Amino acid sequence: MSEIFNLETKTLWSFKERGEWGTHKGDYPGNWSPFVPKNIILRYSKEHDLILDQFLGSGTTLIEAKLLNRRGIGCDVNPIALDLSKNRIEGVKGSNSIQLVKGNAKNLNFIKNESIDLICTHPPYSNIIKYSKDINEDISLLNIDDFYESMRAVSKEAFRVLKKGKYCAVMMGDIRRNSCVIPLGFNVMNLFLNQGFRLKEIIIKEQHNCSSTKYWEEISLEKNFYLLAHEYLFIFFK
């Protein structure tokens, strides 16, 4: 009997249980809940479509793509992420067309123009979590201005490789510096809109189980600010 999965129907998402089916595990820093890519893939693609996650991490998106019988391309600059993803993707049954590439989301020269059916991706939030010490292309090592410049290149490549009439889902969160909010989410959203994407949805996702919460709780009381507890999932349309 096939499993019944209730797709999200509103623009406010919250997954208290992150989802541990298949080979998913919540052990990679800043990984997203598999409920996120599962919702996006089911709503915006069909079987055998080609899904891209150019910020692969531990492979959550492509594990879901494989389980849902979609083809996939994943790329990451960090060989640790690629090894982890390879094992986890091999550990589930489904599509036999999943390709992993050590590469830079700013330059997807291994992907042809307008060949991707759905982009579903989760970049670093500037240098909030550093994914490596010294990988040159790692955008998690960049300060905010350089991060925006890189995300401009990422959005340009995303627009180039996506087919017309298809969707690009990008998750991004805001950050706080010197007690004030830097709206990384909306600023990155604007970079994608400036490439020519149209805005289909802004989904607010509640954050759960952040390892840094205790630290921020104390500072927020001392400096009198609210804890950031949401991320944005932007759904762009080409």
Ligand X SMILES: C[S@@+](CC[C@H](N)C(=O)[O-])C[C@H]1O[C@@H](n2cnc3c(N)ncnc32)[C@H](O)[C@@H]1O
Residues at the site binding ligand X, with contacts judged by CB under 6 A: 28, 30-32, 54-55, 57-58, 60, 75-78, 81, 104-106, 122-124, 131, 137-140
Contact (CB, 8 A) for 118 and 40: yes
Q: State which residue, 50 or 105, has the beta carbon closest to ligand X.
A: 105
For residue 64, how many C-alpha atoms fall within 13 Å in the half-sphere facing its CB? Answer: 26
Q: How far is the CB of 141 from ligand X (least distance, A)?
A: 8
Our separate counts of H helices and E strands in the chain read 6, 10
Contacts of 162 (CB under 8 A, 6+ apart): 114, 116, 119, 168, 238
- In the complex, the smallest distance separating the C-beta of residue 31 from ligand X, rounded to whole angstroms, is 3
Q: Nearest-CB residue to ligand X? A: 57
Nearer to ligand X, 50 or 73 (CB): 73
CB of 188 closer than 8 Å to CB of 172: yes
Least separation in angstroms between CB 224 and ligand X: 29
**Short-list 124, 110, 201, CA closest to 157:** 110
Query: Smaller CB distance to ligand X: residue 50 or 151?
Result: 151
- CB of 133 or CB of 164, closer to ligand X: 133
